[in-house]
Amino acid sequence: MVATETKPVEGAIANARKQPLRLPAEMRAFWLGTLLVLVLTLVAGWVKYREGTSPYNWNPLSDRLFFDLDEYPGTYTFLHSAAFFNNVSDKPWPYPVWNPVAYPPFAAAVMAPLYAFRIPGLLYLIMAGAWLIVLLGWAVRRLRRTGFSSAIAVGFPLTVILLSFPIARLIHQGNIELVVWILTALGVWAFWRGSNTAAAVLLGLAAAMKLFPIVLLGLFLPRGRYRDFAVGIATFVGATVASLWWLGPSIAVAWRGSLHNIFGYQGQRMTELSLPSLASNHSVGELVKVVMFVAHGSPEKATLPYYAAGAVILGFVFFKKLWKLPEANQLLALSTFMVMLPTISYFHTLVHLYAPLAVLCALAIRAQKAGVVVPGLKTTMLLFLPLFAPFTVLNFPRVFMLCGLIQAVVLMAIFLRAAELPLQLPGES
C-alpha cells in the first residue's frame, strides 16, 4: 500500500522537475520595460517628426553610417611614420589635413587591420555579427540549461540585443569600442569561471585599448589575487610598449604623439558645452561643466582635478564599501564607474553594462529557485532601462530634459546602490 501511494508522488515530482521555469519577477519587469521603452521611442519619434524637427531629434540613427570608422582612412596611410601622429602632411595634395588617432597606442594598432582591408565597414560588420551571435548563443544555452523554455531562452536575450540602443549605436558608428567590449566581456566571463590569469590578460588588453577598463582589475584585490592583478598590469604595459614600437617610427616619437593626441582631445572636449554633447555624453564631467559654467568657472583647467577627484572617490568607495561586498557589487560599481568618469563617453560605451546585467539576471534566477527575494535587485535592474534607451525618448531640450545628463545621474545612482545594497541571497556571506 505504501509503495503504491509513493508512485504518484514520485511521478508528480518528476513532472514538476520537467516543467520549464518561470522567468523571475525582476527579469520579467526588465523585459516588459524594454518593450515599453520601444513603444515610447516610437511615440516620441512620431511626435517629433510631426513637429517638423530635424531627423536627429526623432531618428537616433540618422547620422552617417560608420561615422567613426570613416575618420581615419587617411591617417593610416602614414602608419609607421611621424606624420601618423600629426594632422598635417608635408606632402602635397592628395594628402590633406586628417584626424589624428585619439586612442591609446594598442587601440591604434588594433584598428590598423580594418584600414588594411579593402572595405573596412564590411569587416567591421562581420566582427560585430559574429560577436552578437556568440553572445546570443551563450545566453540561450545558459538559460536552457537552467531550465527555461526555448521561447524564453531565445526571446529574452534576443529582445535585449535587438532593442538595446547602445548595441545599435555602436555598430552604426563603426566604433572600435566593439573590440574593447569583446575583451572586457570575455575577461569578466573568465573571472567568473575562475580562470583568473586569462581574465587578467583580457582585462589588461582592454585597458591598453582604452585605459578605463583597468579599474576592472580591482576585482582581483579583495580575493588576494595579487599575482593576477600584476599580470593584468604587465599585460597593459606590455601591449602599450609593443604597440608604440610597432606604430613607429620609434617608441619615443609614438609615445609623444599618442600623449599629445589623447590628452589634447580630452582637454578640448572638456572645454565644450553644447546641446548635442549634453544630449549624448553621459559623463559625470558634463554635470561638472554645467555647474562650472553656471558658476562662471573655467572647465579648461578642470580636467586633471576632475580625474584626480574621481580616482580618490573610487579608492574610498572601493576600499571602504565594496571590499567586503559580493563580487556582483564590485563588478557593477566598477563597470558603471568606468563608463561615467571619462569626459567623453557616448552611447556605445554603455555596452560594458551588459556583463553586470547578466550577473544580476543570474542572481535573480538563483533567488527564485531558493524562494527568496534579493532586496533592491528589481529596482537596480530597472535603472538599466534609461541607459539602454535611444536618446530621442529622453531628449527634450526645450524643457532642459537632456539624455546625457539623465544617464549620468542614473549611472551615479547605480554606482551608489552597488556600494550599499549587497547583491546576494539573504543569509549568504
Tens of pLDDT, residue by residue over 152-210, are: 999 999 999 999 999 999 999 999 999 999 999 999 999 999 999 999 999 999 999 99
What was the pLDDT predicted at 13? 43
What was the pLDDT predicted at 53? 84
**Residue extents of the structural domains in the chain:** 24-53+272-429, 68-85+99-270
The low-confidence residues of the chain, meaning pLDDT below 50, are 1-6, 8-16, 92-96
What was the pLDDT predicted at 3? 46
What was the pLDDT predicted at 95? 46
What was the pLDDT predicted at 427? 78
SS3 353: helix
Q: The C-alpha cell of 124 is what?
A: 567591421
CB of 218 closer than 8 Å to CB of 212: no
What was the pLDDT predicted at 335? 98
SS3 330: helix
What was the pLDDT predicted at 1? 42
What was the pLDDT predicted at 366? 96
Backbone angles phi, psi at 148, to 5 degrees: -85, 155
What pTM does this model have? Answer: 0.92
Instruction: DSSP for 196-258, please give it.
Output: HHHHHHHHHHHHHHHSGGGGGGGGGTTTT-HHHHHHHHHHHHHHHHHHHHHH-S-HHHHHHHH
CB of 156 closer than 8 Å to CB of 27: yes
d(CA 383, CA 348): 17
| Radius of gyration from C-alpha coordinates of the chain | 24
CB of 232 closer than 8 Å to CB of 204: yes
Tens of pLDDT, residue by residue over 206-259, are: 999 999 999 999 999 999 999 999 999 999 999 999 999 999 899 999 999 998
